[in-house]
A and B are shown apart, each in its own frame.
Chain A
Amino acid sequence: MILRAENLAKHFAAPGGLVRAVDGVSFTLARGETLALVGESGCGKSTTARLVLRLIEPSAGQVAFDGEDITTLPPNRLKPFRRRAQIVFQDPYASLNPRLRVGDTIQEPMRVHGLGSAAEQRARVQELLALVGLAPFHAQRYPHEFSGGQRQRIGIARALAVQPDLVVCDEPVSALDVSIQAQVVNLLKDLQQRFGLSYLFIAHDLGVVKHMADRVAVMYLGKIVELAEKRTLFANPRHPYTRALLAAIPHPDPALRGRVKPLGGDLPSPLNPPPGCRFHTRCAFATELCRREEPALVDGVACHHTAELPPLDMAYAGGLSETATRRLARYAQAAGQRN
């Protein structure tokens, strides 16, 4: 177990009350594992990422890294933890200092931690550039000379410079073109296998999550509503919100459109979250109980009615609809006649 978050919370004071950005989140992350944290914008996933790295101070709860509680460590004793846990950001344009050459950006973490001589560090910079698919001469260039995908590779090289155990990826591909996304995702997977990295992978694109994650935690308004193995979650979503998220994935087969009603309305304000189950304002299955009582995360799902949810036709998870099958057969026939 590399990481354990226990009842983690972050409340921001705002005019009109407390914004409960993250409100009691618990999860674990094993060595070499990828845990994806998914949810809408504003559900608190990025805040959770920053709490885990203690880039911001939690309002409550604790984070244990490799068995050590890092939430109570005085700042001057955080340095060993800082070497072992790194971050990759969403926006590859904002995450590199425009005035530093790329080589200096990658070398800096090694300097800070005094890893090796200057010559060794420079050699390692070359090694890291090669590792993420860039050329040695790129070290002499400035960030603005690179494309978004290349910059993201630089960000990854910087994170790997100190040989961390944990890398928090805060939507590392959501700012990239789709074609580049695949490259970066595959790079992250390769690196994970080679170095046994653990990823806390923040995302809102379930397609990427399906490719990357071992386990998935679905967040809604600062809470985890469902936490399950990836396969289980995609095959059998047990929370109405997870179902809605999965249904929102565009599907190439038009006959499958509209099987699950898309979610209406907006995310309620975390300033005054709805009482009871936070999802009840948008949930088709909500009852009086949901409005009154907050469900606990039991057996990986936080829903009063999870057992009563109608069985979901998960045909869209793999196969084709009848209409589509028929249509394809017709096309094949037509093609055969032409030949």
Chain B
Amino acid sequence: MSRPGTLRMLTRDVGAALSFGFVALVVLAAILAPWIAPRDPYATDLLAIMQPPGGDYLWGTDGQGRDILSRCIFGLQVTLFMGLVSLIAGGVIGAAVGFAAAFYRRLDGVLMRLMDILLSFPAILFGLALAAIFGPGLTSVIIALSIATVPLMARIVRGAALVVMGQDYIEAARATGMSDARLVWRHVAPNCLSPIFVFSTLRLGQVILLGSALSFLGLGAQAPVAELGAMAAQGRNFLFIAPHISVIPSLAIFAVVLAFNVLGDALRDALDPRLRI
């Protein structure tokens, strides 16, 4: 009897297949931006500012006459890089802290109080502080978002790991005399994947939005770098005359975040052998 593989599971449900396709497309577009963008994202055409979508410029132009489609494609690169790097960096550290707290109960109090301290600062504040130290820019934003993700991931993982560690199969594994590292890697971590996936996809959306907010405040991507959040921010001055300048990058953020959320759910199900029938 053959069993569907992970990829097969991912493409079985229509929503999952669509989101998987869309995310793949978005990532490809971001990587291939220099080759597929129709125009130079930095070239200004002062004779064609605030052009509505359609016409010569497919998605219109912004206040300086730059092609919004090209800027969105390049912006995707920056936004995705920022979001994924900070999610992965913060997530990995947070997960390590969470597992350590659940596994070594003596460390639990100290580690989780540290996480509470981190949790008490808003991500925007980290951004401000880091921008003050390292100067505004993408690096500061990524570090700030990573730090802000650590305590959240730590809490989620600790909770999930504590539940898993109460299961009999953990005791059985202990009774075989395996090392702690093996126990966590083979038995605890795989059974914590569901909440980690759900949280990661939710968090990716939040991180992208937070990054955009920091860019909006002028702490993140610096003009003229195309970044979806910064682009939405720049369009706010023309919201009544040319709403598409803000709306189009915002829609792009929305679509990307939504696609990652749906994909995250599908991936969680696809990786669970219990649902593989």
In the assembled complex, which residues on chain B have CB atoms less than 8 Å from the CB atom of A259?
A: none
* Bound CA span A86–B273, Å: 27
- List residues of B (171-222) whose CB comes within 8 Å of A's CBs: 171-178, 182, 186-187, 190-191
From B171, B174, B187, B274, give the contact of A144 (CB < 8 A): B274
* Bound CA span A113–B177, Å: 8
Given the known A-B contacts A98-B273, A144-B274, are A112 and B169 also in contact in the complex, defined by CB atoms under 8 Å? no
Q: Is the CB of A89 within 8 A of B168?
A: yes
* Bound CA span A90–B186, Å: 22
Q: How far is the CB of A191 from chain B (nearest CB, A)?
A: 17
Q: How far is the CB of A274 from chain B (nearest CB, A)?
A: 31
In the assembled complex, which residues on chain B have CB atoms less than 8 Å from the CB atom of A98?
A: 191, 273-274
Q: Is the CB of A94 within 8 A of B191?
A: no
> Does A79 have its Cβ within 8 Å of any Cβ on chain B?
yes
* Bound CA span A87–B174, Å: 10
Q: How far is the CB of A257 from chain B (nearest CB, A)?
A: 38
> Does A99 have its Cβ within 8 Å of any Cβ on chain B?
yes
> Does A83 have its Cβ within 8 Å of any Cβ on chain B?
yes
From A81, A83, A87, A108, give the contact of B186 (CB < 8 A): A108
Q: Is the CB of A87 within 8 A of B169?
A: no
Q: How far is the CB of B128 from chain A (nearest CB, A)?
A: 42
In the assembled complex, which residues on chain A have CB atoms less than 8 Å from the CB atom of B276?
A: 142
Given the known A-B contacts A91-B168, A99-B191, are A55 and B274 also in contact in the complex, defined by CB atoms under 8 Å? no
Q: How far is the CB of B177 from chain A (nearest CB, A)?
A: 3
> Does B120 have its Cβ within 8 Å of any Cβ on chain A?
no
Closest residue of B by beta carbon distance from A92: B168
> Does A96 have its Cβ within 8 Å of any Cβ on chain B?
yes
Given the known A-B contacts A87-B171, A89-B171, A94-B169, are A108 and B274 also in contact in the complex, defined by CB atoms under 8 Å? no
Given the known A-B contacts A142-B273, A144-B273, A144-B274, are A95 and B172 also in contact in the complex, defined by CB atoms under 8 Å? yes
Given the known A-B contacts A87-B171, A108-B186, are A97 and B191 also in contact in the complex, defined by CB atoms under 8 Å? yes
Closest residue of A by beta carbon distance from B273: A142
* Bound CA span A83–B174, Å: 11
Q: Is the CB of A82 within 8 A of B175?
A: yes
> Does A100 have its Cβ within 8 Å of any Cβ on chain B?
yes
* Bound CA span A297–B169, Å: 36
Q: Is the CB of B177 within 8 A of A79?
A: yes
Q: Is the CB of B178 within 8 A of A112?
A: yes
Q: How far is the CB of B165 from chain A (nearest CB, A)?
A: 12
- The 8 A CB mask of A68-109 against B (1 = contact, 0 = none) is 000000000011011101110111001111111000000011
- The 8 A CB mask of A44-68 against B (1 = contact, 0 = none) is 0000001001010000000000000
- List residues of A (99-149) whose CB comes within 8 Å of B's CBs: 99-100, 108-109, 112-113, 142, 144
* Bound CA span A94–B170, Å: 9
From B168, B182, B191, give the contact of A112 (CB < 8 A): B182
> Does A155 have its Cβ within 8 Å of any Cβ on chain B?
yes
* Bound CA span A97–B276, Å: 16
Q: Is the CB of B174 within 8 A of A108?
A: no
In the assembled complex, which residues on chain A have CB atoms less than 8 Å from the CB atom of B186?
A: 97, 100, 108
Q: Is the CB of B274 within 8 A of A86?
A: no
In the assembled complex, which residues on chain A have CB atoms less than 8 Å from the CB atom of B174?
A: 55
From A96, A99, A109, A155, give the contact of B176 (CB < 8 A): A109
Q: How far is the CB of B233 from chain A (nearest CB, A)?
A: 44
- The 8 A CB mask of B157-173 against A (1 = contact, 0 = none) is 00000000001110111
From A82, A155, A158, give the contact of B177 (CB < 8 A): A82
In the assembled complex, which residues on chain B have CB atoms less than 8 Å from the CB atom of A162?
A: 176
**Residue among A83, A89, A97 having the largest count of chain B Cβ atoms under 10 Å:** A97
* Bound CA span A267–B171, Å: 27
Closest residue of A by beta carbon distance from B191: A99
* Bound CA span A282–B186, Å: 48
Q: Is the CB of B169 within 8 A of A96?
A: yes
Q: How far is the CB of B186 from chain A (nearest CB, A)?
A: 7
Q: Is the CB of B274 within 8 A of A97?
A: no
* Bound CA span A329–B171, Å: 55
From B167, B175, B273, give the contact of A53 (CB < 8 A): B175
Q: Is the CB of A94 within 8 A of B167?
A: yes
In the assembled complex, which residues on chain A have CB atoms less than 8 Å from the CB atom of B169?
A: 94-97
Q: Is the CB of A87 within 8 A of B175?
A: yes
Task: Return 10 A-B CB contacts under 8 Å, by A number.
Answer: A85-B175, A86-B176, A94-B167, A95-B172, A97-B173, A98-B273, A99-B191, A100-B186, A108-B178, A109-B176
Chain A contact residues, CB within 8 Å of chain B: 50, 53, 55, 78-79, 81-83, 85-87, 89-91, 94-100, 108-109, 112-113, 142, 144, 155, 158, 162
Q: Kindly list the 8 A-B residue pairs having the minimum CB-CB distance in the complex, ordered from nearest.
A: A82-B177, A95-B168, A109-B176, A142-B273, A94-B168, A99-B190, A89-B168, A112-B178
Q: Known A-B contacts: A100-B186, A112-B178. Give 6 more (CB < 8 A).
A: A55-B171, A82-B176, A87-B171, A97-B190, A113-B177, A142-B274
